[in-house]
Amino acid sequence: MKYLIACLGNIGSEYANTRHNIGFMVADHLAKELGNSFSLSRLAYVSEMKYKGRQMIVIKPTTYMNLSGKAVIYWATMEKIPLENILVVCDDLALPVGTLRMRKKGSDGGHNGLKSVIESVGSSDFCRLRFGIGNDFAKGKQIDFVIGEWDKAEIDEIQPRIATAADIIKSFVAIGPDLTMNQYNNK
């Protein structure tokens, strides 16, 4: 069984510690935890990881957030991974900082990365793990907020949640989305 774990963010050092890059932060934590690293490949940094006999292709798209779907469809097609074995990890303004919520399908919720994935795969029926970044910004300042860096208090709050997000990914590949959602959503 192969799984595609698409962790969304933007490449470049100027985006490294931004709220929009929480997907990359989760991917890096997972790779470190499982003793893996990423290498640059077509449309993404890629790492092949194994967990409980399951193979994960974990990607950090190099297409920038708004074109994330190009990398997702390329790697899903290349690795012959069905839609039900795809998990997209991304930030979410609608959730309080550190809140983790997994869903099996849904709209893009105004998230351009999810919008791109939905358009590219031709469906919204794929799992997504949304990581809350809060919405503490003035009217008209949404873009500045999402590409802004985490402050010290937020970093302290999200570090353990990044580890939990990695646990959710491992659970997704080991026991599937339904049991994972029962175990982790609203916790």
The full DSSP string for 63-115 is S-GGGHHHHHHHHHHHTT--GGGEEEEEEETTS-TT-EEEESS---TT-HHHH
Distance from C-alpha of 97 to C-alpha of 95, rounded to nearest angstrom: 6
Backbone φ and ψ of 164, nearest 5°: -65, -40
The active-site residue out of 20, 60, 111, 128 is: 20
Distance from C-alpha of 153 to C-alpha of 157, rounded to nearest angstrom: 6
SS3 176: coil
Buried b (16+ CB within 10 A) or exposed e, 79-100: bebeeebbbbbbbbbebebbbb
Is 29 catalytic? The answer is no
Q: Where are the beta strands (DSSP E) in the chain?
A: 2-7, 39-41, 44-51, 54-61, 86-92, 100-103, 127-132
Q: Which residues are catalytic?
A: 20
